[in-house]
């Protein structure tokens, strides 16, 4: 039986491991056995095999408020090549369907022992261990073939009696997520909500919060008058206050918002140590000049002495520096003490690395560090993330690394023998990282009172822990070393507190220590937020009513009475089930008018797409929601009594005999529309009666002739006959708009009458013009008529830009990106409306065009070719050039055009040349006499770069034996070229050593030591030949006999395809950019606000 038991244990991936309790350690299960929130528990259950035909469950065992059950399933072995035999499937199941607050996102990590109990001796019990992350889709874990049924029923094995077996589970679980867990009730503390990937920040904030002396100083920072949204200090005070007073998890969105972070920053992990350092630096600056200045250095600042001591002469250099945390190398180290010893181990400077000791010359020396003073709060960062040159990436070191609960650093203090004070530190916090270099999760284990009681802070969940979980289980190590712990989970940062200053650092803080004004501010803020939440919850019961009076119509120049987008209405929040009377009472109370001094008119949409006021009377039995026809907001015109006699009630409105008309006046001389007032006309009155109102309002003499128009809809007005009676009109409704104008105006006006004005208004469009060369240009707006031609638009825009109309080029915007697209031809014959339609811009979308100010007339520009090339200056910096040239020009004329856009060096030759570059190699050098149209840039530029450069002075005067060779940089293979290729002058018979010496002047940004690593190679038809310093340059190695016969050697590089010729290659590594120490998913932590 023992052999069989050993065999089964070998099949198990988790080995049964006994962990002895250390002396003085407290058991984490201080709760009573029947408390459902306990962290561990056990359940013994008897399974009757006579009734075991299907999946069977035990009663629940409650651990961490979750129900854990034994789940047994009859299974069969599936060993290959052998007969299938019945087995017992033994699983641990967690299915919190009935637990308060549980949802499909619940999760819980648990460790358990599944046991089959022996009837006679507990030493013969059969155990198997599991570790699993339980969640909704994987809510059970265990062994399908826990034991063969024939062995289970074999009485000689001692497991069965009366056809029954006894099973046992021992479960230890972390506090769950996604279910109701009252951290405050179970631990006395609350957690912090995770915004997406802010677990690293939460662990740091909890550590800082429990550093009581620091928390007390944070409360005392002056933040009165600070911007609520941008003050980091105020936001941190809020987080600490809520951690101290709240009963539930605290949000950190206001804190990250005060950093100036965007939403994406909350989903990007940062380095814990870096975030801690940046936040503390920010707080230290905020504390300057206040009563808490110097608190952070007092708590966290230590002193270290960097020294270099000569070994053979009496000379030593020292420099004292401050530190706020210590980075410990853990690779190859087993304990913190080993890392400290490595930290202070001096480096020997000898050989080529000797120290320059001034007048003593180069000396062998020791370079090292000595600790002069440790701070009361000691932050130790364990360097688990390091760069691996073989993998060319950062990797996480999961090696086992032990740290003690009490740390004695006395031996590491300089002159410790003369100092009787011991440097004893107690472990206060362990910040743990689970995962790898690409991401993971952070939690913090903290002992708030340094009394041996540990708590786990896992974002919003806080739970009791013990020394084993907080310390031993976070040493790290391989699977073989620590089967009870996840391999990638280990300590990343340790926080120790000096024992002699424990009471000072961990001073007790009560609510009375929080400044009264700060407490009052946060409580008022909570009340306001509660009110907003209530309003949000009840928002579906309310609707908005927007009300305007006559004053909103004044100054408006468009159709209808006003533009609601620009109006500033009075907004009333009212219940949807309220009645008109309720709304009237609300408006009366707000405006001060009596109820009988106001009348409400609802703005209704008509079939012709206009909006006009209509009576609301007679609708008193309907709710506001019904009157609004279930649309929000409800917009109304508020008629009020005259301010001259505010106590008088409004005269009654007789719906059957009266019509409300709104009057406007069009001033032909100014081309401006004025709102006059609203009037009530009886159906038997004359239409022309409104003229009297106009003459009085404007005023106008009695003999001034007037005409009357009805504003029907956008772009259409109908002239009315003033002598007609209102009842004789075919269609007249409440809310109609009539426009009055003079008819005695003589002269030329922009709009001769109301009809012209509204027709022009209907075609009016606002166009935004943006600078094509300035991506951030907001542009300027111009009101244009859609019937304008290209030339008319150009004239108006030119006036805005203070230039000539023919010195502007317009571009349409790209449909998928907000940048300039194709140019608009100056001979475009359509209207502005045609222009937008041809570019696919819909009628209601904002109109935008791009412009470019020119140096030549647009007509001349359009007759030329656009040639795009790059300018390479003496600093080897590239600039893009846009040249406009005629197709019949020569290369010399093209280069003269390029000179207008570049700045030549004073000491240069002043002469330019044009090169064709492809794949970082020179393919062709053009002579000045070549015609521009032969290079066909429109086709070639798709894959080719044309480069303009200044000819070096030494290359302008080539002797008969001088010639130019193409040079290019490459790495490992000639097909991996990079950097700027160039031409270089050599002379017949010149050695490579001589060429190297001269070429060094070309590479001013390359050190001599680095240049020596360059390999010079002659590449001929793809074959590489490494050159030695005594190699002699000969033109026959680079120039073909055919080219030699057709032109002199010093011109053999012109107008030929150099890519087929031999070339000189410089083989060296492509220097990569300096590698960041951050993970690729990280970016440096920045706090943008003060």
> pLDDT digits over 540-588, tens only?
999 999 999 999 999 999 889 999 988 999 999 999 999 999 999 999 9
Q: pLDDT > 70: what percent of the chain? A: 90
Tell me what pLDDT residue 762 has: 82
Rounded Cα distance, 274 and 441, in Å: 16
With 0.95 as the threshold, say if the pTM is over it.
no
E strands, 988-1073, in order = 1015-1020, 1023-1026, 1063-1067
pLDDT band at 792 (very low <50, low <70, confident <90, very high): very high
Which residues, 6+ apart, have CB-to-CB distance to 425 below 8 Å?
374, 378, 406, 407, 408, 409, 496, 497, 498, 499
pLDDT tens, position by position, 238-256 = 999 999 999 999 999 999 8
- CA of residue 17 relative to chain centroid, distance: 46
Identify which of 407, 401, 345 has the alpha carbon closest to the alpha carbon of residue 379. Answer: 407
Tell me what pLDDT residue 1081 has: 41
In order of 28, 409, 879, 951, the CA distances from 918 in angstroms are 71, 63, 17, 20
Residue in this structure with the two tokens 């045609």, named with its chain if needed: 834
Identify which of 613, 618, 617, 620 has the alpha carbon closest to the alpha carbon of residue 582. Answer: 620
Dihedral angle sign, alpha carbons of residues 712, 717, 718, 721 = positive
State both tokens at 740. Answer: 């009055």
Tell me what pLDDT residue 837 has: 81
CA angle 353, 359, 362 (to 5 degrees): 15
State yes or no: pLDDT of 12 exceeds 50: no
Please provide the average confidence, as pLDDT, over all residues in the chain.
86
E strands, 616-671, in order = 634-640, 658-667
Active-site positions read 199, 441
Tell me what pLDDT residue 110 has: 92
Pairwise pLDDT comparison (352 vs 30), residue with the higher score: 352
3-state secondary structure of 441: strand
State both tokens at 119. Answer: 């009837």
Q: What is the DSSP letter of 725?
A: B
pLDDT tens, position by position, 886-900 = 888 999 999 999 999
Rounded Cα distance, 542 and 535, in Å: 9
pLDDT band at 936 (very low <50, low <70, confident <90, very high): low
Q: Which of 153-162, 675-684, 830-839 has the lowest mean pLDDT?
A: 830-839
pLDDT band at 867 (very low <50, low <70, confident <90, very high): confident
Q: What are phi and psi of 352, to 5 degrees?
A: -70, -10
Rounded Cα distance, 834 and 840, in Å: 10
Rounded Cα distance, 745 and 667, in Å: 10
pLDDT tens, position by position, 599-616 = 999 999 999 889 999 998
Rounded Cα distance, 420 and 635, in Å: 83
Rounded Cα distance, 1059 and 922, in Å: 7
State yes or no: pLDDT of 416 exceeds 90: no
Tell me what pLDDT residue 3 has: 35
pLDDT band at 752 (very low <50, low <70, confident <90, very high): confident
State yes or no: pLDDT of 18 exceeds 60: no
Do the Cβ atoms of 1018 and 1025 come closer than 8 Å? yes
Identify which of 561, 590, 598, 597 has the alpha carbon closest to the alpha carbon of residue 573. Answer: 590
Task: Say how many CA atoms lie within 13 Å of 185 toward its Cβ.
Answer: 9
Tell me what pLDDT residue 11 has: 34
> Which DSSP string do the residues of 874-903 spell out, in sequence order?
TTS-EEEEEEEE-TT-BHHHHHHHHHTTS-
Tell me what pLDDT residue 394 has: 79
Tell me what pLDDT residue 636 has: 95
pLDDT band at 498 (very low <50, low <70, confident <90, very high): very high
Mean pLDDT along residues 164-180: 91
State yes or no: pLDDT of 6 exceeds 50: no
State yes or no: pLDDT of 705 exceeds 70: yes
pLDDT band at 152 (very low <50, low <70, confident <90, very high): very high
Tell me what pLDDT residue 263 has: 67
State yes or no: pLDDT of 160 exceeds 80: yes
| Mode of pairing for the β-strands spanning 66-76 and 61-63 | antiparallel
State yes or no: pLDDT of 1 exceeds 60: no
Q: pLDDT > 90: what percent of the chain? A: 56
State both tokens at 206. Answer: 């909890």
Pairwise pLDDT comparison (660 vs 843), residue with the higher score: 660
Do the Cβ atoms of 972 and 1044 come closer than 8 Å? no
pLDDT tens, position by position, 296-338 = 999 999 999 999 999 999 999 999 999 999 999 999 999 999 9
Mean pLDDT along residues 215-243: 93
Tell me what pLDDT residue 205 has: 95
pLDDT band at 1084 (very low <50, low <70, confident <90, very high): low
Pairwise pLDDT comparison (792 vs 81), residue with the higher score: 792
Tell me what pLDDT residue 866 has: 83
pLDDT band at 10 (very low <50, low <70, confident <90, very high): very low
State yes or no: pLDDT of 387 exceeds 80: no
3-state secondary structure of 712: strand
Pairwise pLDDT comparison (418 vs 95), residue with the higher score: 95
Pairwise pLDDT comparison (429 vs 822), residue with the higher score: 429
State both tokens at 1062. Answer: 């031999």
pLDDT band at 480 (very low <50, low <70, confident <90, very high): very low
pLDDT band at 113 (very low <50, low <70, confident <90, very high): very high
State yes or no: pLDDT of 19 exceeds 80: no
Rounded Cα distance, 131 and 110, in Å: 6
Tell me what pLDDT residue 70 has: 96
State both tokens at 379. Answer: 């932050």
Rounded Cα distance, 808 and 41, in Å: 82
State yes or no: pLDDT of 1019 exceeds 60: yes
State yes or no: pLDDT of 7 exceeds 50: no
């Amino acid at each position: 039986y023992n052999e069989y038991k050993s065999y089964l244990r070998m099949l198990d991936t988790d080995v049964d491991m006994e962990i002895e309790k250390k002396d003085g350690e407290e058991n984490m299960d201080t709760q009573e056995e029947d408390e459902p929130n306990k962290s561990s528990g056990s359940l013994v259950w008897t399974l009757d095999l006579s009734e075991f035909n299907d999946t069977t469950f035990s009663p629940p065992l409650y651990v961490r408020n979750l129900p854990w059950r034994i789940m047994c399933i009859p299974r069969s072995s599936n060993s290959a090549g052998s007969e299938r035999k019945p087995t017992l499937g033994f699983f641990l199941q967690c299915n919190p369907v009935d637990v308060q607050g549980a949802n499909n996102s619940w999760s819980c990590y648990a460790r358990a022992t599944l046991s089959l109990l022996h009837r006679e001796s507990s030493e013969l019990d059969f155990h198997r261990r599991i570790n699993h992350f339980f969640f909704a889709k994987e809510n059970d874990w265990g062994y399908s073939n826990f034991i063969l049924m024939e062995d289970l029923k074999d009485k000689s094995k001692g497991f069965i009696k009366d056809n029954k077996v006894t099973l046992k589970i021992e479960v230890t679980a972390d506090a769950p997520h996604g279910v109701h867990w009252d951290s405050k009730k179970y631990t006395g503390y609350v957690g912090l909500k995770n915004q997406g990937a802010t677990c690293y920040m939460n662990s740091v904030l909890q550590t800082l919060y429990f550093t009581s002396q620091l928390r007390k100083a944070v409360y005392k920072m002056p933040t009165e008058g600070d911007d609520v949204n941008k003050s980091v200090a105020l936001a941190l005070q809020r987080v600490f206050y809520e951690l101290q007073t709240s009963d539930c998890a605290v949000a950190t969105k206001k804190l990250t918002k005060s950093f100036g972070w965007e939403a994406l920053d909350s989903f990007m992990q940062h380095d814990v140590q870096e975030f801690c350092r940046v936040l503390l630096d920010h707080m230290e600056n905020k504390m300057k000049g206040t009563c808490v200045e110097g608190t952070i250095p007092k708590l966290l600042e230590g002193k270290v002495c960097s020294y270099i001591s000569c070994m053979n002469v009496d000379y030593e250099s020292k420099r004292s520096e401050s530190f706020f945390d210590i980075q410990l190398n853990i690779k190859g180290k087993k304990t913190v003490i080993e890392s400290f010893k490595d930290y202070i181990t001096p480096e020997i400077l000898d050989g080529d690395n000797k120290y320059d000791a001034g007048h003593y010359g180069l000396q062998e020396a020791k370079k090292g560090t000595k600790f002069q003073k440790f701070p009361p709060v000691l932050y130790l960062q364990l360097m688990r993330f390091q760069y691996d040159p073989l993998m060319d990436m950062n990797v996480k070191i999961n090696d086992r690394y032990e740290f003690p609960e009490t740390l004695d650093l006395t031996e590491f203090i300089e002159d410790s023998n003369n100092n009787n004070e011991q440097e004893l530190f107690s472990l206060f916090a362990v910040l743990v990282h689970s995962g790898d270099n690409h991401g993971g999760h952070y939690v913090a284990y903290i002992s708030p009172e340094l009394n041996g009681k540990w708590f786990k802070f896992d974002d919003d969940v806080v739970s009791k822990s013990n020394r084993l979980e907080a310390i031993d289980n976070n040493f790290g190590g391989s699977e073989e070393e620590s089967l009870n712990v996840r391999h990638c989970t280990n300590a990343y940062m340790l926080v120790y507190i000096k024992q002699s200053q424990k009471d000072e650092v961990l001073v007790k803080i009560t609510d009375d220590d929080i400044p009264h004004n700060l407490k009052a501010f946060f409580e008022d803020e909570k009340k306001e937020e509660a009110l907003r939440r209530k309003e949000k919850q009840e928002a579906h019961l309310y609707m908005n009513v927007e009300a305007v009076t006559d004053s909103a119509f004044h100054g408006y120049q468009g159709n209808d009475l006003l533009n609601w987008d620009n109006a500033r209405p009075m907004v009333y929040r009212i219940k949807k089930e309220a009645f008109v009377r309720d709304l009237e009472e609300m408006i009366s109370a707000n405006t001060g008018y009596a109820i009988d001094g106001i009348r409400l008119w609802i703005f209704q949409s008509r079939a012709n797409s206009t909006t006009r006021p209509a009576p609301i009377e007679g609708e008193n039995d309907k709710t506001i929601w019904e009157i609004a026809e279930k649309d929000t907001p409800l917009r109304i015109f508020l008629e009020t009594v005259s301010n001259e006699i505010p106590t008088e009630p409004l005269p009654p409105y007789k719906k059957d005999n009266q019509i409300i008309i709104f009057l406007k006046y069009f001033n032909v001389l100014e081309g401006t529309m004025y709102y006059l007032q609203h009037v009530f006309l009886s159906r038997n009155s004359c239409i022309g009666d409104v003229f009297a109102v106009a003459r009085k309002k404007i005023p106008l003499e009695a003999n001034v002739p007037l005409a009357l128009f009805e504003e029907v809809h956008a772009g259409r007005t109908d002239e009315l006959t003033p002598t007609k009676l209102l009842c004789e009109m075919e269609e007249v409704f409440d809310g109609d708009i009539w426009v009055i104008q003079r008819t005695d105006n003589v002269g030329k006006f922009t709009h001769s009458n109301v009809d012209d004005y509204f027709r022009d208004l209907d075609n009016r469009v606002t166009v935004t013009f943006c600078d094509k060369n300035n991506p951030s240009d907001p542009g300027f707006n111009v009101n244009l008529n859609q019937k304008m031609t290209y030339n008319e638009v150009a004239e108006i825009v030119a006036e805005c830009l203070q230039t000539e109309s023919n010195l502007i080029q317009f571009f349409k915007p790209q449909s998928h990106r907000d940048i300039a697209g194709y140019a608009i031809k100056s001979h475009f014959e359509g209207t502005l409306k045609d222009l937008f339609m041809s570019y696919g811009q819909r009628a209601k979308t904002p109109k935008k065009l791009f412009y470019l100010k020119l140096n030549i007339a647009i007509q001349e520009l359009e007759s030329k070719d656009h040639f795009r090339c790059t300018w390479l200056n003496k600093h080897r910096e590239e600039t893009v050039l846009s040249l406009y040239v005629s197709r019949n020009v020569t290369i010399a004329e093209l280069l003269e055009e390029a000179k207008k856009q570049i700045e030549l060096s004073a000491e240069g030759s002043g002469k330019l040349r044009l090169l064709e570059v492809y794949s970082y190699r020179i393919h062709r050098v053009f002579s000045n006499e070549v015609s521009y149209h032969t290079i066909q840039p429109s086709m070639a530029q798709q894959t080719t770069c044309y480069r303009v450069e200044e000819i070096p002075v030494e290359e302008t005067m080539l002797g008969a034996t001088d010639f130019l060779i193409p040079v290019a940089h490459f790495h490992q293979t000639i097909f991996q070229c990079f950097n700027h290729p160039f031409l270089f002058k050599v002379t017949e018979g010149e050695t490579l050593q001589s060429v190297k010496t001269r070429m060094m002047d070309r590479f001013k940004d390359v050190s001599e030591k680095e240049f020596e690593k360059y390999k010079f190679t002659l590449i001929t038809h793809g074959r590489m030949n490494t050159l030695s310093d005594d190699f002699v340059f000969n033109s026959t190695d680079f120039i073909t006999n055919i080219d030699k016969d057709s032109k002199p050697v010093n011109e053999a590089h012109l107008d030929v395809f150099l890519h087929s010729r031999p070339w000189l290659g410089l083989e060296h590594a492509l220097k990569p950019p300096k590698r960041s120490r951050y993970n690729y998913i990280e970016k440096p932590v920045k706090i943008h606000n003060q």
